Amino acid sequence: MKMGDFLAEVPLVTENRMALVSNVKEAAPLSLDECHSPTNGNGEQFDSDGGSGTEDFNWDEYLEETGTSSAPHSSFKHVETSLQSSFQPGMKLEVANKSNPDTYWVATIITTCGQLLLLRYSGYGDDRKADFWCDVMTADLHPVGWCTQNNKVLMPPEAIKEKHNDWTEFLIQDLTGSRTAPANLLEGVCIHAQY
């Protein structure tokens, strides 16, 4: 097909189509506050932290309900190897506790994407709902044992405090045989995070 033939088949804009377009309301520019405050489409703000009454999306439940499986990592060969890091899934590290920033807790690396790590706090088991992403260049990350060496408090997140009676014993079992993120991987990160 020649370009001229193709253009001949492109429908022209008619008055009806123009009428449809002219009825579209022009959106007013948003203020900075509106950009950071999600609405429900009627101009009413809603609580994005769960107060809206809807559950967060759960990928595992979706896959199970639809009878599908996630694509393997090998399907994404287009992701540059420069995005790969020396952090490996399964490695443990100590990270600032989101529910109490003056304390830390052990987390496991679930997956990596360049300088981003998907982490899960120890004690959540296979529950992915509390997984969180962090940037190794800005997050407060340390090798296992750093809290003890620096007199910092290890405290489980509020959401799982009641799951175990003895967190010290839990951590001993959880860390036995595990790999910690090497200090040399985190040394440069800690220096960057201070600036």
The token pair at 13 is: 């804009």
* pLDDT at residue number 154: 92
Enumerate the domain spans of the chain: 84-194
The reply to whether CATH 2.30.30.140 applies to domain 84-194 is yes
For the purposes of burial, counting CB atoms within 10 Å of the CB of 132, is it exposed (0-12), middle (13-18) or buried (19 or more)? middle
* pLDDT at residue number 57: 81
Q: What is the C-alpha to C-alpha distance for residues 104 and 184, in angstroms, rounded to an integer?
A: 20
Distances (CA, A) of 24 to 17, 20, 93: 11, 7, 52
Partnered with residue 114 across adjacent β-strands are none
Q: What's this model's pTM, rounded to 2 decimal places? A: 0.56
Asked if 115 and 109 touch (Cβ cutoff 8 Å), the reply is no
What digits encode the pLDDT tens for the residues 15-57?
443 433 333 333 344 444 443 444 444 455 444 444 445 567 8
Q: Please name the residue that has the structure tokens 């997140």.
A: 157
Containing 63, the helix (H) or strand (E) segment is helix 59-66
Q: Whats the size of the chain, residue-wise?
A: 195
- Residues in the chain predicted with pLDDT less than 70, given as ranges, are 1-55, 73-74, 76-85, 187-195
Q: What is the C-alpha to C-alpha distance for residues 95 and 77, in angstroms, rounded to an integer?
A: 30
DSSP string for 84-137:
--S--TT-EEEEE-TT-TTSEEEEEEEEEETTEEEEEETT-TT--TT-EEEETT
